[in-house]
Chains A and B, each alone.
Chain A
Amino acid sequence: MTDQERQVLLTELLSRQNSGGLKPKDRFEIPPQEMPEQDANARRRNVSEVALGYTETQARIEALRCLQCKTAPCVQGCPVRIRIPDFIGAIARGEYSRALDIIKENSLLPAVCGRVCPQEVQCQEKCTVGLKFKDVSKAVSIGRLERFVADLGRNHAAVPAVAPATGRKVAIVGSGPGSIVAAADTRRAGHEVTVFEAFHKPGGVMVYGIPEFRLPKAIVQDEIETLRKMGVRIVTNFVVGRTRTIEQLIKEDGFDAVYIGVGAGLPSFMGIEGESLVGVYSANEYLTRANLMKAYRFGSGTDTPIAVSKKVAVVGGGNVAMDAARTAVRLGAEKVYLIYRRTEDEMPARVEEVHHAKQEGVEFHLLQSPKRIIGNGDAHATAIECLRYELGEPDDSGRRRPVAIPGSEFRIDVDTVIIAIGNQANPLIRQTTPGLEFNKWGNIVVDENLRTSMPGVYAGGDIVLGAATVILAMGQGRIAAATINADLAAKRS
């Protein structure tokens, strides 16, 4: 469909809408709007964003596909309960800033969530339109619409109002998505808020992990700037547990509440032979070098090196594995293999990321898993030996358990291996905070309001949930902030 045709379609739809309205049947006939994206070959050689965002015409056409269900099943699918039909209705009417206001009632980072939320297993999975077609890819593109209004509003975002000073001090540990929300919400209540970040730059996983081509860093920077404008103090190079302990923050530095949002932050390895060879990375390290330190510009303004790879194997099937594989493509690898021990159906990665990775030439090796990594005399990785797998009975996660086929070993020649099989809880807070209760996986134990076992200490995000998503972390940041605000108000009265 050309722009011209789209414009004609929109004009027609709007006139029908105004004269008697569109019936569900009419709406089902509106073609789902694809989002323009960079050509797959071109983007293999740059780090610019892949998905380019809807035009205004596309957004309004897509918004008109929404049935405005009274029951709003999509809202039930949203971890932060955004009033989805209402904001989509506003877009259909051309009231974009109204749409953004509705989203911002529940989500502080729409430009981020519109890009990285797994909508196909959240709001869009429940969408009546998708269910009607028995195809979630035909659901109303809620995420793309969210992104559209968020991007439109980016340059004139108002700084949220801050209540009169309460004289209470809140420390936020970590500066990822959950912490940003917790900081904003506690600051809005009038508390003096300080965010402590271990790295030299705030943003957490949104700056070191998620690549530029999926989430431009300028967007994250904007969100951090908004916090600063609200009067939140952001302290970098501050490792809570080491620079100051949580106990010191409370007893010596006068903080009345501490929110721990440090993320998971300790990469898992497989425990196979050869994992410490040169050329073997955790996805965290590979992505941090590439994203945070911009290793792809090594020698021209940046100083952090990264492997110069020809053949790369990425192990894992989640979003991080896709990010690593697609980053390797952009760093110039000739071959990038993605090795996953189940099938594509079981992959935790978003459908869109899998699709983009394939478009960019990542080769999927499914039902395979590494047995060992082989190196040369210099301890450089030269090959990965894999076993073939088949799917057996479902396991505890409900996914069919992969079972190795004995004797099926084979080798793939590679010079770089990236392990992207998830993270465990970082032990730093545990080792340095005696009073805090942890579960057997090292995650912090909290009640439903995200209070920990230590008075005045709250926690949320991956350090509580295990590895989760940006939106779940944000949801927890919001709950924790509400609890902190309530607890501090009760203390005052």
Chain B
Amino acid sequence: MSHRIVGKRELGPDVFWARIEAPLIAQARQPGQFIILSINDDYSERIPLTIAGANPADGTIELIWQRVGKTTAELADLDEGDEIANISGPLGTPTHIANFGTVVCVGGGIGAAPLLPIATALKDAGNRIISILGFRSKDRLILEADFARISDELIVTTDDGSYARKALVTEPLAEVCGRDPKPGHAFIIGPTIMMKFCCGVTRKFDVPTQVSLNTIMVDGTGMCGGCRVEVDGKPKFVCVDGPEFDGHRVNFDLMIKRMNAYRQQEQQAYEQYRQHRCRIGLDG
């Protein structure tokens, strides 16, 4: 069964949103889960994307992604009415939602997208929500209104100061963690390097921290182990043991290096795709 795109928008430079028909996934998905999609035929790449939202009533899911390589670029080139050949999911262990009292939710870049359903569920579970969203610049800002709606306190930062507070998210995170009482729990989703530094902050303040990892995957059901990360020095599979882990136990340095395993081939594929796109005139 293929999956029709029923809505699509460019949220900012290289950041896209789409609503896609996937009725079974829309029904089953819980916060923290992801899908694996491949766009065309049997041999297009399978990539994991976290589910940003779902509407079980009309059978759609929402995805937000950044254009970083061939497959994400190809996805960005699709329009409303186009179809995606394969979507498998929902995958991964759902977020453990509980009442921790006050929770600080930190989203970096498009990490805000998978964070939103988690923050919403935490709010519904009775938590006081402090959200910190960080973006490179004003034009990359996403989901501010959505987070404002579910947050008791919202702090937005930009790296270049073009909007709201000029800071990295670690700065307000340290302030929030330094308050008395400190937050009962932190949820952090964003670029690996940002999660690493945020975990450094929450570790210092001894705030238990969940991170959601988005590693390279093939099957997404535990069969290949390509997604493994070191947690407490032991290999864990992001697809079945995760995607969420205790951020204080993850070996982020190794994870960053594993994420770069195919960088050369990925760049080659992206370059080929862009040239092909130029030739057929898509780039005007």
Enumerate chain B residues within 8 angstroms of A379, measured Cβ to Cβ: 253-254, 257-258
Q: Can you report 19 residue pairs joining A to B where beta carbons are below 8 Å apart?
A: A198-B219, A199-B88, A200-B85, A200-B88, A201-B42, A235-B1, A236-B86, A237-B87, A243-B88, A244-B24, A266-B240, A271-B234, A293-B45, A294-B43, A303-B43, A305-B265, A428-B221, A428-B222, A428-B240
Residue A427 is within 8 A (CB to CB) of chain B in the complex:
yes
Question: From residue 133 to 160 of chain B, which have CB atoms closer than 8 A to chain A?
Answer: none
A304 touches B254 (CB 8 A): no
Residue B66 is within 8 A (CB to CB) of chain A in the complex:
no
A278 touches B261 (CB 8 A): yes
Mark B residues whose CB is within 8 Å of A: 1, 24-25, 28, 33, 38, 42-46, 70-71, 85-91, 93, 218-226, 228-230, 234-235, 237, 240, 251, 253-254, 257-258, 260-262, 265-266, 268-269, 272
Of all chain A residues, which has the CB nearest B36? A237
Question: From residue 150 to 208 of chain A, which have CB atoms closer than 8 A to chain B?
Answer: 198-201, 208
B235 touches A275 (CB 8 A): yes
> Given A200-B86, A243-B25, A269-B235, A304–B222 Cβ distance below 8 Å?
no
Contacting residue for A299 out of B219, B230, B269, CB 8 A? B269
Residue A276 is within 8 A (CB to CB) of chain B in the complex:
yes
Question: From residue 411 to 464 of chain A, which have CB atoms closer than 8 A to chain B?
Answer: 426-428, 431
Enumerate chain A residues within 8 angstroms of B222, measured Cβ to Cβ: 265-266, 426-428
A244 and B27 CA atoms in complex are apart in Å by: 9
A265 touches B221 (CB 8 A): yes
Enumerate chain A residues within 8 angstroms of B86, measured Cβ to Cβ: 200, 236-237
B38 touches A243 (CB 8 A): no
A276 touches B258 (CB 8 A): yes
Enumerate chain B residues within 8 angstroms of A378, measured Cβ to Cβ: 257, 260
A303 touches B228 (CB 8 A): no
Interface of A is mostly: loop
Contacting residue for B272 out of A238, A299, A431, CB 8 A? A299
Q: Write out, one digit per residue, whether chain A residues 240-284 have a CB within 8 A of any chain B CB (1) or not (0).
A: 001110000000000000000000011101010001111101101
| Chain A: interface residue total (CB-CB under 8 A) | 48
> Given A278-B257, A304-B218, A379-B254, A242–B89 Cβ distance below 8 Å?
yes
A239 touches B89 (CB 8 A): yes
B91 touches A239 (CB 8 A): yes
Enumerate chain B residues within 8 angstroms of A431, measured Cβ to Cβ: 93
A244 touches B254 (CB 8 A): no
> Given A237-B87, A265-B222, list of 15 further CB < 8 A pairs?
A198-B219, A201-B42, A237-B88, A244-B24, A276-B251, A284-B225, A285-B225, A288-B219, A293-B45, A298-B265, A298-B269, A299-B265, A305-B266, A427-B240, A428-B222
A285 and B93 CA atoms in complex are apart in Å by: 21
A262 and B50 CA atoms in complex are apart in Å by: 25
Shortest CB-to-CB span from A348 to chain B, Å, is 21
Contacting residue for B224 out of A244, A276, A282, CB 8 A? A282
A208 and B266 CA atoms in complex are apart in Å by: 22
Question: From residue 306 to 320 of chain A, which have CB atoms closer than 8 A to chain B?
Answer: 307-308
Shortest CB-to-CB span from B50 to chain A, Å, is 14
Point out which of B24, B45, B218 has the most chain A C-beta atoms below 10 A from its C-beta.
Answer: B218
B269 touches A284 (CB 8 A): no
Contacting residue for A293 out of B85, B89, B218, B253, CB 8 A? B218
Enumerate chain A residues within 8 angstroms of B234, measured Cβ to Cβ: 271
Enumerate chain A residues within 8 angstroms of B257, measured Cβ to Cβ: 278, 378-380
Shortest CB-to-CB span from A424 to chain B, Å, is 9
A299 and B265 CA atoms in complex are apart in Å by: 8
Enumerate chain A residues within 8 angstroms of B219, measured Cβ to Cβ: 198-199, 208, 288
A276 touches B218 (CB 8 A): no
A294 and B257 CA atoms in complex are apart in Å by: 24
Shortest CB-to-CB span from A467 to chain B, Å, is 13
A276 touches B89 (CB 8 A): no
Residue A17 is within 8 A (CB to CB) of chain B in the complex:
no
B88 touches A198 (CB 8 A): yes
Shortest CB-to-CB span from B131 to chain A, Å, is 28
Enumerate chain B residues within 8 angstroms of A242, measured Cβ to Cβ: 28, 33, 89-91, 221
Residue A394 is within 8 A (CB to CB) of chain B in the complex:
no
